[in-house]
């Protein structure tokens, strides 16, 4: 009995494992153990080994955010896109029970391997949000500050909700952040 995979099917599985175990904590044997995918397949699709796997996951995450969040913020109706962002963020991170892989990689030495990708993810998020805020009539400087505050706040909410292991704190914090952002839109 043999199961045949495609690269696109494997990447999300790898994503969950890297999220849970971190880069160093993710071993090939644990990947096999959790997914049933053997080394043969893994190195067939990712000849660069573990590092290429993690890079593929980062690119996948980045792509998801690009189409689901950044592009709407840049192109669609600003207020609607911002509102949709909060909903999508809450869904994506499963109300705080799922962490941000990019943020986690930023904290330890893993950052050195992927620093351009990590940096880019956050720069583009902040910039897309900033542009949306400007379109609502917010001044340039205030828009940047508000965008940084929101993106930074989301990362903090993820850390805190995992640390406290409380169901509702992520949603509560997201609501506070959304209110702050709404305040930045109308006035100032």
Partner DNA sequence: CTTTAATTGTACCGATAGGTACAATACAGA
Partner DNA sequence: TCTGTATTGTACCTATCGGTACAATTAAAG
Residue 84 C-beta: closest distance to a second copy, Å: 21
Tell me how far apart the alpha carbons of residues 112 and 167 are, in angstroms, rounded to a whole number: 33
Q: Which residues bind DNA (CB under 7 A)?
A: 1-6, 26-30, 36-41, 43-45, 47, 49-51
Distances (CA, A) of 67 to 74, 75, 112, 124, 133: 10, 11, 26, 12, 18
Q: Is 153 in the site for a second copy (CB under 8 A)?
A: yes
Q: Which does 47 bind (CB under 5 to 8 A by kind): a second copy, DNA, none?
A: DNA
Report the residue from 8, 59, 80, 107 that binds a second copy according to the rule CB under 8 A: 107
Residue 85 neighbours by CB distance under 10 Å: 24
Using CB atoms within 10 Å of the CB of residue 123, give its burial: 0 to 12 exposed, 13 to 18 middle, 19+ buried.
exposed
Residue 40 C-beta: closest distance to a second copy, Å: 25
Residue 110 C-beta: closest distance to DNA, Å: 12
User: Are 174 and 86 spatial neighbours (Cβ–Cβ below 8 Å)?
Assistant: yes
Q: Is 164 in the site for a second copy (CB under 8 A)?
A: yes
Q: Is 24 in the site for a second copy (CB under 8 A)?
A: yes
Q: Is 147 in the site for a second copy (CB under 8 A)?
A: no
Query: How many positions of this chain bind a second copy (CB under 8 A)?
Result: 43
Site for a second copy in 39-68 (CB under 8 A): none
Tell me how far apart the alpha carbons of residues 140 and 184 are, in angstroms, rounded to a whole number: 11
User: Are 102 and 96 spatial neighbours (Cβ–Cβ below 8 Å)?
Assistant: no
Report the residue from 31, 56, 57, 110 that binds a second copy according to the rule CB under 8 A: 110
Q: Is 10 in the site for a second copy (CB under 8 A)?
A: no
């Amino acid at each position: 009995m043999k199961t045949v995979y495609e690269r696109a099917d494997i990447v999300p599985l790898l994503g969950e494992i890297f999220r849970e175990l971190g880069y160093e904590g993710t071993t090939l044997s644990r990947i096999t153990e959790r997914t049933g995918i053997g080394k043969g397949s893994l190195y067939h699709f990712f000849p660069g080994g573990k590092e290429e796997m993690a890079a593929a996951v980062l690119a996948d995450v980045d792509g998801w955010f690009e189409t689901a969040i950044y592009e709407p913020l840049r192109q669609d109706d600003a207020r609607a896109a911002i509102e949709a962002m909060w909903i999508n963020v809450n869904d994506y991170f499963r109300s705080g029970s799922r962490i941000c892989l990019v943020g986690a990689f930023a904290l330890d030495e893993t950052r050195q391997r992927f620093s351009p990708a990590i940096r880019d993810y956050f720069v583009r998020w902040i910039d897309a949000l900033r542009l949306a805020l400007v379109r609502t009539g917010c001044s340039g400087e205030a828009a940047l500050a508000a965008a940084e505050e929101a993106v930074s706040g989301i990362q903090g909410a993820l850390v805190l909700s995992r640390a406290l292991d409380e169901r509702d704190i992520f949603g509560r914090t997201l609501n506070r952040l959304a209110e702050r952002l709404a305040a930045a839109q109308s006035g100032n």
